[in-house]
Amino acid sequence: MSTRTLLIGLDGATFSILDDLTDDTNGRQPVMPFLAKIYKEGVRSKLLSTPNPLTPPAWMSLMTGKSPGKHGVYDFIRAEERGNDVFFTLYDARDSLAETIWSIASRQGRRVAALNFPFTAPPPKNLNGFMVPGFIPWKHLRRNTTPANFYDRLKELPGFNAKELAWDFQQEKQAINVLSDEDRENWISYHLPREQQWFRIADFLLAEENPDLMAVMFDGVDKLQHQAWLFMDPQLQPETMSDYHQRMRSLCMDYFRQLDGFLENLATAAGPDVQLFIASDHGFTATYEVVRINAFLHEKGYLKWKAMPDSEEASRREDSMFANLDWESTTAYCRTPSSNGITIRTSKNPGEPGVQPEEYESFRQKLISDLKELKHPDTGVRIITHIHKREDIFSGPAMEEAPDLLLVLRDFGFVSIKDKQPVVETRSETAGTHHPDGVFFASGPGIRKGDMINRKNITDVGATLLYSLGLEIPEDFDGKVMEEIFTPEFLVDNPVMTTDQATNQAKDVEGDAMSEEEKDKLMAQLKMLGYME
C-alpha cells in the first residue's frame, strides 16, 4: 500500500515570510515555486498555536489533538517546588498525559513514520513503524530510534551523519542573542546540510517502506528566523542593502529554496494519491524591546534576590537559573523566559513559605493589577496586553502544572528573568520572536483547490491526520477534523467518525533518560537559543 498521508512540519513558519517567498506576481520568480503551487492548488489557513506559542506545548498539542491542560507539556523544562528549593528537569515523552497520533494510528493497524518531532523520546513501546526523535543529543539517537535495527540501516545512507542530524550543542551555541557578523553567517549556513539529513531519511522511508503516515519536521525555519528576522521580513528591508545584508538575505533565500525542493521531492515520492499537509507550531514576528519581568516583580515586592558575595562563583550562580532568588521571601516569579508565565508560590504545609491558600485569589488579583501597570516609561503604553488565568486557558487534569498567570507582551516577545535594569529597554537590533498564528496547508485528492479558509486550531491537525488515514477520531480530542478543506464528494464517501475510546495512554513509552551532563548541555543550548537565560 502506498503512503496516503504526508505531514511536513515547518517549525515557526509564518505567512508574513512565506507569502513573500511564493509571490509570483508581475512575472516575479518565487523563491519557493512548489509552495506557490500549493497556494494555488490546495487549501491554506492560519493555524492558532497554544496559548503560549512555544515549540514543546504546540507540537505536543498537534501530536495529541489536545490542549496543554490535558497533555501537560508547557515548556522545555518542568519544575517542582519543595519548600525552599526548586528542582528543574527536562520534559520528555513520558511527561505527556495524552496518547499521540503515532500510537493511535499504530494500534489501529496503520504504519507510521515520525522524524524529528520534539518529545518523542523515548518512543512508544508498540509503535507500528519508524521513529527518529528530535531535540536529543546524537548519542541518544540510536537507543531512541525505533525499530531497533533502523539506526544501522540509516548508517548505510550516503552522507549519513548522526552528529549533524541531531542537535549539535557546540553549533547551537551560535544562536546566542548577540553574534558577530561572521558567526551569524556561519549559523545560517550550518542549517542547510542539517535539514538535508532529515530529508534523506524521509525520502528513504518513502522509497523503501511506504508508511501509511509519513511525518517529518524541519526546524531550521525557527532557528533562522530567531537570528535573521532582520534580513527576511519584507517590511524591514532597506531600500539600499549593505554587502553584508545582501549576503545574509541570500543565505536565507538559499535555505528556503532548498526547503521548497524538499517539499516537492517528498510530495512526488509519496505519489499522486497522497494527501499532503504542511503545518507549523507557531508563527513569527518582530520583537523590539526587552521586558525584565522578574526585575519588575522585585520592584513590586513579590520577589527578592538573594544577596551574593562579589566572587567568580557568585557570578556563575547569578547566571544560572534562579540561583540568586531568596525563596523564603519570594511569592511570585517567572521561571523561564520561554514560559512567559508567573508562578505564585503557595504554602502547601504550615510553616512553609509562600501565599496562604485562603489568600491566593486576592493575592493573584493584586498581582494582575500590578502587572497591568507595567508601562513604557516614555509613552505610558501598557507593555503586557493580556494576562490569562490558568483556569481560563489550561483547563484539564494538568492545569496545576501550568503557570498561575500567562503574559502576552505587546510585541509577543519572550520576557527576561534577569536581575538587570531598566525593566523595559529597546533592543539594539530587531529580533524574531514567536507569534500565535502559524500556517497550515493541504493539497491532494479530495482536497479543495485554491481556498483560504478561516483560522484553525493546532489541535485540529491531529484529528485531520487521523481522518485522512481513514480512522475514527477520539471523542476526548479537543481538535476537530477540518471538514472545510475537503471536497463535498470526499466527505460523502468518507464520513467523519468518532470513537469514545480514551486516549490517555501515554505511559506506553520506554527508554533511558538522559544523563545529568547531557541535560546540562541541552539546558545550555536552550539558553543560547534565547528560551532560557
Grid cell 511527561 in the structure block, residue: 95
Alpha-carbon distance of 191 to 196, in angstroms, equals 9
Mean pLDDT value across the chain? 89
For the entire predicted model, the pTM comes to 0.92
What is the Cα Rg of the chain in Å? Answer: 23
Q: Which helix (H) or strand (E) holds 192?
A: helix 181-208
Query: How many Cα atoms occupy the beta-carbon half-sphere of 412 within 13 Å?
Result: 18
Asked whether residue 176 carries a pLDDT value surpassing 50, the answer given is: no
pLDDT of res. 58: 98
Strands 43-48 and 456-457 come out as: parallel
Residue 345 DSSP symbol: P
Grid cell 490558568 in the structure block, residue: 390
pLDDT above 90: percentage of residues in the chain: 69
Write the DSSP string, 268-314.
HHH-TTPEEEEE-S-EEEEEEEEEBHHHHHHHTTS--BPP--SSHHH
pLDDT of res. 522: 54
pLDDT band at 502 (very low <50, low <70, confident <90, very high): low
pLDDT of res. 89: 78
Q: Are 346 and 354 in contact (CB under 8 A)?
A: yes
pLDDT of res. 341: 96
End-to-end alpha carbon distance in the chain: 49
Tell me the per-residue pLDDT of 368-399, one tens digit each, with 9 for 90 and over. 999 999 999 999 999 999 999 999 999 999 99
Which grid cell sits at 246? 545582501
**pLDDT average, residue stretch 260-285:** 97
Name every residue whose Cβ is closer than 8 Å to that of residue 110 and which is 6 or more positions away in sequence: 128, 212, 213, 469, 471
Alpha-carbon distance of 85 to 234, in angstroms, equals 47
pLDDT of res. 328: 87
pLDDT of res. 170: 47
Name every residue whose Cβ is closer than 8 Å to that of residue 349 and which is 6 or more positions away in sequence: none
Domains of the chain: 5-282+436-528 (3.40.720.10), 293-429 (no CATH)
Tell me the per-residue pLDDT of 424-460, one tens digit each, with 9 for 90 and over. 999 988 999 999 999 999 999 999 998 899 999 999 9
Asked whether residue 326 carries a pLDDT value surpassing 90, the answer given is: no
Asked whether residue 26 carries a pLDDT value surpassing 90, the answer given is: no
Tell me the per-residue pLDDT of 183-235, one tens digit each, with 9 for 90 and over. 778 777 777 788 999 999 999 999 999 999 999 999 999 989 988 999 999 99
Grid cell 491531529 in the structure block, residue: 462
Exposure string over 405-427, b if 16+ CB within 10 A, otherwise e: bbbbbbbbbbbbbebeeebbeee
Grid cell 468518507 in the structure block, residue: 494
Name every residue whose Cβ is closer than 8 Å to that of residue 301 and which is 6 or more positions away in sequence: none
| CA 363 distance to own-chain centroid | 32
**pLDDT average, residue stretch 1-30:** 93
Residue type at position 204: F
